[in-house]
Structure 1
Amino acid sequence: MVRLTVHLIAKSSNHSKTCRSESLQQYLKKLTHLNFSNKSIEDIDDLSICRNLTVLYLYDNQISQICNLGFASNLTHLYMQNNNISCIENLSSLHNLSKLFLGGNSITVVEGLEELKSLKELHVEGQKLPRGEKLVFDPRSISSLSETLCILNICKNNIDEIWDLAPLRKLAHLFAADNQLQDIKELETVFSQWSQLRLLDLSRNPVCHKPKYRDRLITVCKILEDLDGKQINELSRQFLINWKASKDAKKKLEDEKDVRGQITNPLTTDIQRGPPHDRSSSLRKPSEFGKPDVTFRIDRVQADSRGGRSRGLNIPMRSGRL
């Protein structure tokens, strides 16, 4: 097992050049940049003597756990991409860390970042995930980064939604290519909350094939300068914004007309159908059926031209009606 130790550092060429003029201890105390990338390192030993360390390169190794970095309170850049890390941990002391590179590991949950109050860049692209799983985000970490994080790289992580990232209102660059994003309305809702978004890469996501995909996102992202590697012309942006405003105004006017029509003519539908049919006017009561006709004889005495009486008039009528 290859461990990163002070003795391994002592063998580095940088110290060899300065070892004649200062001791190893003096050299380690003054050290600000340490590059041990691609050295087959599997573990990090106690390096607390390197208290002024600001940049640490440990990418392309075989490290499986982030550990023994609690001393590095001055660390601003940490490069640990392409290792075997499965959990983001033991970073709570790195209050000055501004850039964290963890791409190409085996991380399934973005977590453990609550104390990184200065973090501006987070790179977690291309995690080696189990089949069918996606990279997920701990709401506590996302909330803690809402006022600082400017650049986020989550490419190639099988991500199919970004609701959990909505609190990142300071985000200026989002790299999310090669994922499974497909809901254009969700993207519009989230991006509309990111007023500082200038660069956006969603290439090779299913959503890219939606109708008016590019136009809709350019309209929502008011200051976006680059979408999927293509620059945005300001004239085109203004045309799309004006077109959307005109379309929305027209729809609002039509909706208002429909509402006014329903208020002023509430019985329009009933008038078109006609008045309700009164069945009682055309149907006899059950008791009226089956009765025989009754003839009433009305005798009137009239003088005819010869002074005689006229015959009585026989008027057939049904019982109950005159």
Structure 2
Amino acid sequence: MVQLNSDLIAKSRTHFKKKRGLSLPDYLKTLTHLNFSHKNIEDIGDVSMCRNLTVLYLYDNQITNICNLGFASKLTHLHMQNNNIAHIDNLSNLQRLSKLYLSGNRITVVEGLEQLRELKELHLEDQKLAPGEKLLFDPRTLLSLAESLCVLDISNNNIDDISDLAVLREIQTFSAADNELHNMEELEDVFGFWPQLLQMDLRGNPASKKRKYRDRLIIACKSLEVLDERDISEVTRQFLINWKTSKEAKKKKHNTLMLPGPLSSDPFTNDFYTAQRPHPGHIYSHNMQRLKPQQSLSSTAIDPTDLS
């Protein structure tokens, strides 16, 4: 099993050249960036001597667990995409972390990020999910990221509902392509809570094929500049806003004209002058008495003056 540890760092040609004149412990203390991608690493061992580490590249390995990183309190960027990680955990000490890359793993629940109050980017696209599974979100994690997260990528994860994400009000870039999002009203509601949203990608979702999809989202997202990799001009946005305003005004005017006048409390007026059908089986005379079943209108004269 290949393990990331001090010995592996020492054996690296790249690092061997840099540590001339320094003992290994002293050299490890100087490291701020560590790149061990594509090394078939399965486990993270003891690298706690790299206490000044700010950027760690471990993508394209065989790692199954995030562990032994509690020492890295200065870490700001963690790249662990394309491994075999199933759970997000053991990150609570990385309170300066601003960018976390976990795409291409086996994660089913986004959780364990409650202490990462400075996290700005979270990349979770293309999880290796079992048939029928979809990526889920722990509400506690979402609430903890509400004030910081600016970039979120959850593409290709069988997601059909993003209503829980409405709390992420600082989102500026959102990618959810190739999912199962279909409810336009839900999307408009969520995006209404994201006043900072600048770029969005929803290609490959059922919603993106619906009529007026692009127009509706441009209207709903007041600050959006790019939708599905196509720029939005201010002229287009203003035209759509004016069009919607005009349409709503016409609808309101039409509804006002169609409102019925005040109805009399007199049942005769309601039944005869407003063409409302009498209650089945009831035939009324001028003195408001219900006729017997065998009686008919022909046998009971109604004086027209009684209706005035």
TM-score (norm 2): 0.87
1:253 deviates by: 3.2
SS at match of 1:152: strand
In structure 2, C-alpha distance between the alignment counterparts of 1:15 and 1:179, rounded to whole Å: 42
Please give the residue correspondences for 1:1-322 in structure 2 after superposition, counting only pairs within 5 Å. 1-259=1-259, 261-262=260-261, 264-265=262-263, 269-270=270-271, 271-273=273-275, 277-278=284-285
**SS in structure 1 of the partner of residue 167 of structure 2:** coil
Identity among equivalent positions (%) equals 59
Of 202-211 and 250-259, the range deviating more from structure 2: 250-259
Counterpart-to-counterpart distance in 2, 1:20 and 1:228: 50
TM-score norm. by structure 1 comes to 0.83
Give 1:233 shift: 1.5
Where 2:274 maps in the other structure, the secondary structure is helix
C-alpha displacement of 1:249: 2.3
Root-mean-square deviation over aligned CA pairs? 2.2
Q: Greater CA radius of gyration, 1 or 2?
A: 1
**Is the Cα–Cα contact under 8 Å of residues 284 and 291 in structure 2 kept in the other structure?**
no
Shift of 1:127: 0.4
* Paired positions, count: 284
Partner of 1:320: none
Is contact 2:284–2:290 with CA below 8 Å preserved after alignment? no
CA deviation vs aligned residue, 1:7-26 (integer Å, no higher than 9, x gap): 11011223322333211111
Letter in 1 for 2:238: Q
CA apart distance, 1:281: 9.3
Amino acid at match of 1:24: L
Q: Which amino acid in the other structure matches residue 142 of structure 2?
A: I
Amino acid corresponding to residue 199 of structure 2 in structure 1: L
SS in 2 for 1:166: helix
User: Aligned partners of 1:97, 1:63: CA distance in 2, in Å?
Assistant: 20
> In 1, distance between residues paired with 2:170 and 2:19?
45
Q: Deviation at 1:247?
A: 1.5
Query: How far, CA to CA, are the matches of 1:281 and 1:163 in structure 2?
Result: 56
The CA distance in 1 between the partners of 2:291 and 2:55, in whole Å, is: 98
Decide whether aligned partners of structure 1 residues 22 and 185 sit closer, same or farther in structure 2, where only a CA change above 3 A counts: same
Q: Distance in 1 between matches of 2:167 and 2:18?
A: 48
SS of residue in 2 equivalent to 1:86: coil
Task: Supply the distance in 2 between the matched residues of 1:220 and 1:66 (Cα, whole angstroms).
Answer: 39
Q: Structure 1 residues 257 and 54, CA, compared in 2 at 3 Å: closer, same or farther?
A: same
Q: Cα offset for 1:257?
A: 4.3
Amino acid at match of 2:20: R
SS of the aligned residue for 1:273 comes to: coil
CA 1:282 to 1:105, structure 2 compared with 1: closer, same or farther past 3 Å?
Answer: closer
State the alpha-carbon separation in 1 of the partners of residues 264 and 211 from structure 2: 38
Task: From the superposition, tell whether residues 254 and 13 of structure 1 become closer, same or farther in structure 2 (CA, over 3 Å).
Answer: same
Pair 1:273–1:60, CA change in 2 (3 A): same
Match for residue 290 of structure 1? none
